[in-house]
Amino acid sequence: MHVHEINPKKTLITLTIFVIVIIVGLLTITNPRLEYKLTPNETVELVVWDDSYVFPYELEDVIVGAVDTVILIDIRNTFDFSRGHIPGAENISAVELLSEDNIKRLKKLQKEGICVLIYGETQLQANGPWMVFRQLGFSNVKSLMGGYQYYALWKDNLADSYGDDGYLLGAADFDYSDIASNVNIDENEGDSEKTSITVNRRKKSTVAEGGC
């Protein structure tokens, strides 16, 4: 007498359990709510080749309402926001921006081709959140060069900032090796003459062009 003959259904029962475990496992896979759309390598490409910044002088069209395909989002805290912000900006913190409702809204905006411009006190503050949203696949999220500080400096004559490049980041202000090798401590002023930076400035977009 073989073990199978004691309970002839043993094999089928075992296999049924096996199949049920796999099916239950497949059904209960928890898909994370948010998933990276860009692979790490694509993210590196993004930050090396990115061109999705908005130049401060481009803001003027947005503020006067000539371009209605841009939404401004201020990710600073409410206190800073209440002290001054770019006209028309909404105050949503970076973490809040990841909430279900806001993600839904961002998706809708992306479909409609509306650009979401996020800014912080400095460009650095908006940099991380901007990268997260780009990695989540929101190609319509852009970051304001120079941040709010630069805007506040130029807010009365924003268009004139076209000729200024104080908002440019990511470039060397000094010829480090030159400075580091001959420093005279007593010259405290330190002639920090800027080396001429070659700026590939985007042409000022006409009002009609607008948007992203």
Partner 1 sequence: MNKNYFILFGLLIVLSGGLLFLPEKTNYVQQSPESLMWDIVQPTRYISTDQVAKLIIEKDPLFQLVDVRPDYDFEAFSLPNSFNIPIDSILTDEANDIFNIEDVNTIFLSDDDIKADQAWVIAKRMGYKSVYVMKGGLNCWIRTIIQPQKPSESAPITEFELYNFRKGASIYFTGAELSTNSDIKQEVSITRKKKETVAEGGC
Partner 2 sequence: MGPLIPLGQISSGWDFIIALIIGIAFGFILEASGFSSSRNITGVFYGYNFVVLRFFFTAVIVAMIGLEYFDYMGWIDLNMIYILPTYLSPMIVGAIIMGVGFIIGGFCPGTSYTAIAIGKLDAIVFTLGLFLGIFIFSEIFPYIEDFYYSGNMGNITISEVLGISNKLFTFIFVIIAVIAFYVTWLIEKKVRKTINPYKFE
Tell me the two tokens of residue 54: 């908005």
Tokens of 155: 């807010």
Told to check if 12 binds partner 1 by CB under 8 A, we report yes
Binding segment toward partner 1, per CB under 8 A, in 12-20, 59-67, 80-88, 150-158: 12-20
Determine, following the binding rule CB under 8 A, whether residue 188 of this chain makes contact with partner 1.
yes
Using alpha carbons, list the distances in angstroms from residue 180 to 6, 118, 176, 185, 186.
88, 37, 6, 11, 15
Cβ distance to partner 1 smaller for residue 34 or 64: 34
Nearest to 70 by CA among 88, 57, 84: 88
Of residues 8 and 170, the one with the C-beta less far from partner 2: 8
Select the span of 31-39, 55-63, 106-114, 157-165 touching partner 1 (CB under 8 A).
31-39
CA torsion, ordered 159, 64, 86, 136, to nearest 10 deg? -100
Q: Minimum distance from CB of 31 to partner 2 (Å)?
A: 11
36 binds, among partner 2, partner 1, none (CB under 5 to 8 A by kind): partner 1
- The three-class DSSP label of residue 28 is coil
Interface mask (CB under 8 A) for partner 1, residues 116-135, using x and -?
-------xx--xxx-xx--x
Q: Which does 212 bind (CB under 5 to 8 A by kind): partner 1, partner 2, none?
A: none
Residue 22 near partner 1 by CB under 8 A:
yes
Residue type, 140: N
Q: Which residues contact 61 (CB under 8 A, 6 or more apart)?
A: 67, 205, 207, 210
CA neighbor of 190 nearest in space, from 205, 207, 206, 178: 178
Least separation, in Å, of the C-beta of 207 and partner 1?
29
Is 71 in contact with 159 (CB distance < 8 Å)?
A: no
Q: Distance (Å, rounded) from C-alpha 20 to C-alpha 18?
A: 5
Instruction: Specify the 3-state DSSP secondary structure of 91.
Output: strand
Please pick, from the candidates 111, 163, 176, 200, the single residue that binds partner 1 as defined by CB under 8 A.
Answer: 176
Which residues of this chain interact with partner 2, rule CB under 8 A?
2-5, 8-9, 11-12, 18, 21-22, 25-26, 29
The residues that touch partner 1, with contacts defined as CB under 8 A, are 11-12, 15, 19, 22, 32-36, 40-41, 43-45, 47-48, 93-95, 98, 123-124, 127-129, 131-132, 135-136, 169-174, 176-177, 179-186, 188, 190, 192
